[in-house]
Chains A and B, each alone.
Chain A
Amino acid sequence: MTNREGAPAVAHAVEQHETGAAPPPSRGRGRGPVPVRPRRRVRHGRAVVGFLAPFVVLFAAFYLVPIGYAVVESLYTVTRVGGTFGRATEVFGGFVQYAAVFSNGPFWASIGRVLVFFVISIPLQLGLALVFALLLDSPVLRGARFFRLAFFVPYAVPGVIAAIMWGFLYAPTLSPFTLLTTSFDLLGPDLVIFSIANIVNWIFTGYNMLIIYAALQAIPPELTEAARMDGAGQWRIAWSVKIPMVAPALGLTGVFSIIGTLQLFNEPLVMRSVSSAVGSDYTPNMVVHATANIPNYNLAAAFSVVLALVTCVLSFTFLKIAGRRTLS
């Protein structure tokens, strides 16, 4: 759950959604004589290129090109000539790999698994994040600065390290909490999904809290003041003023969580060394990883493309639903 690259793009999408994505009125319209404009444009053009170039070059090199490469790879297949250890050549195979993706049981099972994981993990995670953010924002809490940092610290712990630590706490032979770990098989097939959800929640609650907290800080003080003047208590203010005002931020954390859940990788991979209930195909990303290890790059690329599409569809569906609810 470390991959947050989708964040800026999604944030932008949310913003646009909120503002109705109206293009800013073009400045020069109806002003001045026409011949002046070309010279200015040239000067601007250079500046624009200069400022954009570093981003565009890096974006192309590390985003567009790899994605394009994956799409191309996914359209190829391997043929072999020359017997047992025949030489392999890649030939265009159309949608052969995609057919394999759609008939691959473990891959779709893993997507089903992370969706269950989402239901188990995310409502609790975002609920806690909201509660913590409201507490930090409320005047009742003392030592807000300390708690803000304390809640956020788990996010600063590298995900793999966190998973190792929790793995040690869960494993009956390693855990200091022997009563708990011997009475509940936290690493068994029934509970391991909750155990992993707990790790993920531990890491990301503070992160989501900060996003919501930032949105709370942006609420104009006049609003809460007006509510108070009208006789609203802290509960009432939180429920009727603050939460509706941070709904867009909650939507944003929801989208992050969908993306993060579908990309779940580190935590279950680490759990494999303490639990026999986590297979090498536990999450979609692990399926891709195992396929690339075979190595079957073409199929792995097709998995990646399909996974990206699934993520897109789910994120935008969520935004649509969340957006409609915010409006109504």
Chain B
Amino acid sequence: MRNHRPGRLLAVTAAVVTTVAVTAACGGGGDPGPGGTTAAGACEPAPPGTKVELTFTSWVPGMQKTVDLWNQNNPDIQVKYTEVVGGNDGTYQAYANQIKAGTTGDLGMIEFDNLPSFRLQNGLADIGGCQPVAEGIDGYPEWTRTQVSFGEEGAVYGVPQDVGPLALYYRKDLYDAAGLKPPATWDEYAQQAAQIQAQGGLIGNFMPDQPAWFTALAWQNGARWFTVGDDGTWKVDMTDPKTLQVAEFWQKLIDAEQVNTIPGIGDVEWQALDAGQEWTLIGAPWTAKLIETNVPSGNGKWAVAPLPQWSAGGTAGGSWGGSTTVVWAGSAHPYEAAKFAMWAFGDPAALALNNENGGQFPAHTGQTDLPALSEPSAYFGGQVIWTEFAKANDQVDPSFAWGPTMTDTYDTLSNGFGQAVNGQAKLADVLGDAQARTIETMKAQAIQVG
């Protein structure tokens, strides 16, 4: 959900402030709160006539308006909404503390890559047995259903909110002037990188501080970093041939200085784009609004093309970001909470509000019917960019799964990528280190890992 960051520095400020607050609040009790997972059969509505009050936290801008609409129409299920800072900017740490203290409330927002971590903390309720979920979950794309069920038949640990299928943002004006077409394959991308370098530009940016971006690219190539064996043991494989192919591809571009290697999705990158340094940006739907806001000089010049493929005519995709709404295991009203979540991220009126106020690209497959998502965008030269992302969303590989300690895996990756772009390491070695460190961290958490 990086689309909701007004600026990374601001986010860091918030993170520091939150950290201080969270550290101060660390003295919670040792009781992990009631119930690890809610039994599927236990999801019953409150008796008729009961007034139910729910709490809900997220960091989607303007979500209050969606909640207001719900509260108007559902006098018996009132939702109290709190806006918080982005997950990795402090909210995940707050959630972890709340789980430990048993004070999570009812509903919260978690990105896909952090779902396993919170499941591992026994924080999530399985709402697959709640009638509104069972009836409506098929409205979400397969890959999101796999991620929220962890592959368990009938299980649902979160309602998909929004998704981040990758596509290629490119400077149509520069491409047209140079007589180039957006690259259909990664081979073409590499060729163009050399051509663009000859013209004094850079094809794009390898963002050392955005490991989730790299993960999405490995995902596209069919990497399987985390799998679970039949005996419940985790297997970590970040150095498979698919991932290494992606790593070596970028290593060549870095070595040839054909890509930028600056921190991404923040002021440094926006300035580089505004100065016209980079010709393309591999991004997600949420990136559109950020480019539009932060790169005023690109008005009318950018366009969106499909993500380059590893084989000509391929249709593989990966997702960068995207989030879910979960019902906490400690919620006294899982039925009502699930009902609200399914409405807030499945009902056309709610999706329209989320898109209008929060810039969300909804996970729900009904998203392309939204009027707002079928309009041409002036900034992107009159292109209807959302249809491009809707296509990309259908191509996201459903069998990629996340690890249970992604925060740490990401930290190791971004530290190593930082060294790699400074010439102190190779991407392939960084992946090996990250794998070893991830296994070590999982073992320290007493997770069965083979």
| Chain B residue with Cβ nearest A161 | B13
From A66, A88, A270, A279, B12 is in contact (CB under 8 Å) with A270
- Distance from A174 Cβ to chain B, minimum over Cβ atoms (Å): 5
Kindly identify which residue among B9, B424, B447, B448 contacts A273, using a CB–CB cutoff of 8 Å: B9
What residues of B have a CB within 8 angstroms of the CB of A122 in the complex? none
Query: Which residues does chain A contribute within 8 Å of B36, judged by CB atoms?
Result: 87
Interface 9-mer from A44-52, A112-120, A145-153, A294-302: A294-302
B267 engages A168 (CB within 8 Å): yes
Task: Find out whether the CB atom of B441 lies under 8 angstroms from the CB atom of A293.
Answer: no
| Chain B residues with CB below 8 A from A80, complex form | 445-448
The B119-146 residues at the A interface (CB cut-off 8 A) are 119-122
A326 part of interface (Cβ distance < 8 Å): no
The verdict on B271 contacting chain A, using a C-beta distance below 8 Å, is yes
Tell me, in angstroms, the Cα distance from A293 to B122 when the chains sit together: 16
Q: A100 near B: Cβ within 8 Å?
A: yes
User: Is B417 a contact partner of A84 (Cβ separation < 8 A)?
Assistant: no
Given contacts A272-B209, A289-B19, contact A299 B444 (CB under 8 A): yes
**Interchain CA distance A119-B270 in the complex, whole Å:** 36
Q: Which of A66, A78, A293 contacts B92 (CB 8 A)?
A: A293
* Complex-state Cα separation, A279 to B414, whole angstroms: 7
Binary CB contact string for chain A from 252 to 279 against chain B (1 if under 8 A, 0 otherwise): 0000000000000110011011111111
Taking residues whose C-beta sits less than 8 angstroms from the other chain, chain B's interface range is 35 or more
Task: Name the residue of chain B whose CB is nearest to the CB of A270.
Answer: B12
What range describes how many residues of A lie at the interface?
35 or more
Q: Are B444 and A278 in contact (CB under 8 A)?
A: no
Interface string of B389-416 (1 = CB under 8 A from A): 0000000000000001101100100110
- Report how far A135 CA is from B37 CA in the complex, Å: 68
Per-residue contact bits, chain B 1-41, to A (CB 8 Å; 1 contact, 0 not): 00000001100110111010000001100101000100000
Report if A276-B424 is in contact (Cβ < 8 Å); known contacts: A78-B446, A84-B234, A292-B93.
Answer: no
Considering only CB atoms, which chain A residue lies closest to B122 in the complex? A87
B46 within 8 A of A: no
Q: Check A270–B418 contact: CB distance below 8 A.
A: no
A174 contacts B271, C-beta separation under 8 Å: yes
1/0 per residue B246-264: CB within 8 Å of A? 0000000000000001110
Docked pose: A56 CA to B230 CA in angstroms: 56
Chain A, 143-171, contact with B by CB distance < 8 Å: what is the 0/1 string? Answer: 00000000000000000110010011001
Within 8 A of B (CB), among A41-89: 65-66, 69, 77-80, 83-88
Beta-carbon contact of A294 and B9 below 8 Å: no
A66 touches B444 (CB 8 A): no
With beta carbons under 8 angstroms apart, the residue of A83, A270, A290, A292 that contacts B411 is A290
A244 within 8 A of B: no
Number of A-B residue pairs having CB atoms within 8 Å of each other in the complex:
138
Chain B 231-250 against A: per-residue CB contact (8 Å), 1 yes, 0 no? 11110000000000000000
**Contact, CB under 8 Å: A294 / B15:** no
Q: Judge whether B267 and A281 touch: CB under 8 Å.
A: no
> Which A residues lie within 8 Å of B13 (CB)?
160-161, 164, 270
Shortest CB–CB separation between residue A308 and chain B, in angstroms?
14
Most chain A CB inside 10 Å of its own CB: which residue of B116, B234, B275, B447: B447
On whether the beta carbons of A164 and B414 are closer than 8 Å, the reply is no
Decide yes or no whether A188 CB sits under 8 A from chain B.
Answer: yes
B384 in the interface (beta carbon within 8 A): no
Q: Are B411 and A281 in contact (CB under 8 A)?
A: yes
Q: In whole angstroms, what is the CA distance A286 to B19 when docked? A: 11
Which A-chain residue is minimally distant from B151 (CB atoms)? Answer: A84
Q: Does B346 contact A (CB under 8 A)?
A: no
Q: Does A173 contact B (CB under 8 A)?
A: yes
Contact A173–B275 (Cβ < 8 Å): yes
Chain B: CB-nearest residue to A79: B446
Beyond A173-B262, A174-B267, whether A277 also contacts B422 by CB under 8 A is yes
B268 in contact with A274 (CB, 8 Å)? yes
CA distance A57 to B405 in the complex (A): 38
Closest CB in chain B relative to A239 CB, distance in Å: 42
| Assembly CA distance A310 to B9 (angstroms) | 31
Q: Which of B32, B272, B445 has the most CB of A within 10 A?
A: B445
Give bound CA distance, A290 to B414, whole Å.
Answer: 13
Cβ-closest 5 pairs across A and B: A83-B232, A279-B415, A276-B418, A173-B271, A80-B446
Q: A168-B267, A274-B267, A278-B418 are in contact. List 18 more A-B contacts (CB 8 A).
A: A78-B445, A83-B232, A83-B448, A85-B122, A88-B122, A164-B13, A171-B267, A173-B275, A189-B419, A270-B13, A273-B263, A279-B411, A279-B418, A293-B408, A293-B411, A295-B96, A296-B445, A297-B100
| A and B contact pairs by CB, cutoff 8 A, 14 listed | A84-B448, A173-B272, A173-B275, A189-B422, A266-B16, A270-B13, A272-B12, A274-B263, A275-B263, A276-B262, A276-B418, A281-B415, A289-B19, A296-B445
